[in-house]
Structure 1
Amino acid sequence: MTSKTTPPLRFGGRDYAAFLFDMDGTMIDSTRVAERIWGDWAERNGADAAALLAAVHGVRAVDTIRRFAREGTDIEAEAVRLTEAEIAAVDGILPVPGIEAFVAALPAERWAVVTSAPRALAEARFRAAGLPVPETMVAAEDVRHGKPDPEGYLKAAALLGVAIGECLVFEDAPAGIAAAQAAGADVVVVGGQVDADGCVAAIADYR
């Protein structure tokens, strides 16, 4: 519960104990970089690039590879190689407009990131975008089940010491929205690329 001595966070006329953010597409614009690397992977592995790129956003690399790889592929090894390629590709990583000022106004203990990216990749992208690495982050290796499973958002709320029902989640992808809603949080859709039905708001960016 939010302490009586700690003002709640407000958004859209509602009070929240904490804000939880997805990373890619929500705080950081990495779409061109990610789609180039995943497109190359699809071509090398004989996967349907269009179908893969439509499904990859908001989902752990290991889960995407498991879905699209050829039979007999070493899923874990492929995920490591792809993550290394993404860590090396920081040119073109940008902050979503307005996010710097938005998170700068939040107490560090009142927000967290829940990302499908491995921690090393997340930290590299935060640095490339000029954003602070969050004090509380749940990354791909911190959960047994990735989005759309709610595990990551439930874990982030627990780490912050708040009830998930008192959290507002900022998301941009169907898998992440489904995860946040299954956890019991309110959701704001960022970027306007997906349906916001059932969410409390939709914003283009943080300006």
Structure 2
Amino acid sequence: MHGTATPATRKKRGRRTFWLKQLHTWHWMSSAISLIGLLLFAITGFTLNHAAEIEASPEIVEHSAQLPAELLPQLAPARVPDGARQPLPADVATWLETELPLSIHGNAEWSADEAYLALPRPGGDGWVAIDRTTGEITAERTSRGWIAYLNDLHKGRNAGTVWRWFIDVFVFACVIFSLTGLVLLQLHAKNRRSTWPLVAAGLAIPAAIAIFFIH
């Protein structure tokens, strides 16, 4: 009968409907996961591009303290040799975090005179030095502000392992978002003639800039 779909046609339509629903599902899920990250990376892309024009006044705070006598033997050369690169003893690190506004982590540099621990972080810096003989502590904490903090998150600078995991998940979500978007563009391009010219422009414009204006 004219106008009645054959079983093969209905099967084909059903398949297309199924995959279209799958594509829309993956597209909106990946966009939801990557939305805040995309906003963050877009905004910090602008601030990084204009870093020289955005003035920042670093705030530097110095600290001093005295290590308790009972902890001083843990810094003795017999416990940690000169030239070693290893973390501060756990008891010393715990005491420092209690007394100073610093997060103690990473390997310290041990010389004959002192243990020096660099403490870089997003948007700032820091360090702590302990005299191995007297237990005298000097420390410094530098903050360059929120813009520098967000810029460093964009670059993954000194942000730690968990943030690197987040970036990996974010990148994967962006790839899914882009690929499903591309397939959806292909499916709807028949009714939107400007689709492929715009996609081509999205490739041609940065390629032309890279070829002709970046030296």
Query: Which TM-score applies when normalising by structure 1?
Result: 0.20
Larger Rg: 2
Query: Which TM-score applies when normalising by structure 2?
Result: 0.19
